[in-house]
Amino acid sequence: MEEKREGRLAQVRIYVGKLFRIFKNEKDWKTLAFAVIVSLLLAVVLKDSMMLKKESTRSGFFAIVSASIWIGIFNSIQSICRERQIIKREHRTGLHITSYVAAHVIYQGIICIIQALIMVLVYGFFMKLPSKGLVTGSFYVDIFITLFLILFAADMLGLAISSVVKSTTSAMTVMPFVLIIQLIFSGSIFPITGNAKILSDLTISKWGQRALCVESNMNEIPSEILQSELEMIEDIELVDDVLELLPDNVKENAYAGFEKFLHDYTYRKIYEYKDELVVRRWGYLLAFAAVYVLIAAISLKFIDKDKR
């Protein structure tokens, strides 16, 4: 039993080394270049609106999460299917599928760490981000962990897809549909109701965006809706005429009361500034990644019966 375990660990080391050689020799480093380019484009577009207005910040995080999911899936969606015949042959000569999958998890995890670091550096350079973090004490560390978990969960989703489909062409055909599901059912474009909530709860996008919104203290960011409503009321002459008849303290309380009403209207409990909400959503993302890894391992266990 001990020799078997050592054999598995040795295979993990061998395949991790192989993956990094492929990274170097077959220009898989382009996945890092994609992270740089996409982050730069988003940063340039979002730098004037992020953290300043509630609605634009929420939309900005949705764009960041969507891009992270795309990058994560792209990392791995062709990694297994492109060498399916090699895996089948090596499995028959002693390759442990768990070792092979574990090597991919380690390798892809390292790639995701680098990509998340790139994103944080780019966003931090172009955007005015807060310094105080809710969970770790540093906003940059908090957002790094969230982005890494989004990338990693999406990466493992790509790995699962790559283990199931029969070719790289099929993988790239499936990829847009997976992304569309992540975007539509995130709950960011329009409200999700009824049975669709079940599918929404299974998306990386939903929990990734909610974690980022909580970390940014979304509920306390000024609202564009609130500001426009207040300005509209101030422009109504009849309201001014009525308020002028009131004592100053009553007038101030009236405006303050209405402002509080609109604030409460835009306040969302799911974005409460509580560290347990962030940690819980990190847990969901890790759980997604674990399930996708399990799917990949189970799928490849039956590779010898695959007639493709």
Convert the pLDDT of each residue in 44-83 to its tens digit: 999 888 888 888 888 999 999 999 999 999 999 988 888 8
pLDDT at position 37: 94
41-50 confidence digits (pLDDT tens): 999 999 888 8
Query: How many C-beta neighbours within 10 Å does residue 38 have?
Result: 20
Q: How far apart are CA 27 and CA 78, in angstroms?
A: 14
pLDDT in tens, 172-208: 999 999 999 998 988 877 778 888 888 999 999 999 9
Q: Read off the pLDDT of each residue in 97-106 and give the average, rounded to a whole number.
A: 93
Residue 259, pLDDT score: 58
User: What is the number of other CB atoms lying within 10 angstroms of the CB of residue 177?
Assistant: 9
CA 280, CA 270: separation in Å to the nearest integer? Answer: 12
Specify the pLDDT at position 142: 96
Question: 161, 215 in Cβ contact below 8 A?
Answer: no
Residue 247 pLDDT grade (very low, low, confident, very high; cuts 50, 70, 90): low
d(CA 151, CA 290): 13
Nearest to 150 by CA among 207, 103, 215, 201: 207
**Residue 308 pLDDT > 90:** no
pLDDT-wise least confident of 133-147, 165-179, 226-240, 277-291: 226-240
Mean pLDDT lowest among 65-74, 113-122, 174-183, 253-262:
253-262
In terms of pLDDT, which residue wins out, 84 or 113? 113
Q: Are 87 and 100 in contact (CB under 8 A)?
A: yes
Lowest mean pLDDT among 21-25, 39-43, 117-121: 21-25
Entry pTM: 0.86
Identify the bridge partners of residue 132 per DSSP, sorted by sequence position.
138
Largest CA distance in the chain: 91
What mean pLDDT value characterizes the chain? 84
Instruction: Tell me which of 24-28, 94-98, 208-212 is least confident.
Output: 24-28
Percent of the chain with pLDDT over 90: 47
Q: What pLDDT is stored for residue 22 in this prediction? A: 86
The model's pLDDT over 29-38, given as tens digits with 9 standing for 90+, comes to: 888 988 999 9
DSSP secondary structure, 237-294, as one string: HHHHHHHHTS-HHHHHHHHHHHHHHHHHHH--GGG-S-HHHHHHHHHHHHHHHHHHHH
Average pLDDT over residues 296-308: 77
Q: What pLDDT does residue 2 have? A: 39
Phi, psi values for residue 166, rounded to 5°:
-95, -15
Residues 6+ apart with CB under 8 A from 285: 149, 150, 152, 153, 204, 207, 208, 211
Instruction: Find tokens 């969230």 and name the residue.
Output: 146
Of 167, 178, 218, 200, nearest in space to 284 by CA: 200
CA 111: distance to chain centroid?
15
Percent of the chain past pLDDT 70, that is, above it, reads 82
**Mean pLDDT of the region 264-271:** 70
Confidence category of residue 27, pLDDT binned at 50, 70, 90:
confident
Has residue 239 got a pLDDT over 70? no
pLDDT in the model for residue 151: 97
pLDDT on residue 48: 83
CA atoms within 13 A on the CB side of 55: 9
User: Cβ(57)–Cβ(218) under 8 Å?
Assistant: yes
Residues 233-257, mean pLDDT to the nearest whole number: 54
91-95 contacts: CB < 8 A, separation 24 or more? 91/300, 91/303, 91/304, 92/304, 94/7, 95/11
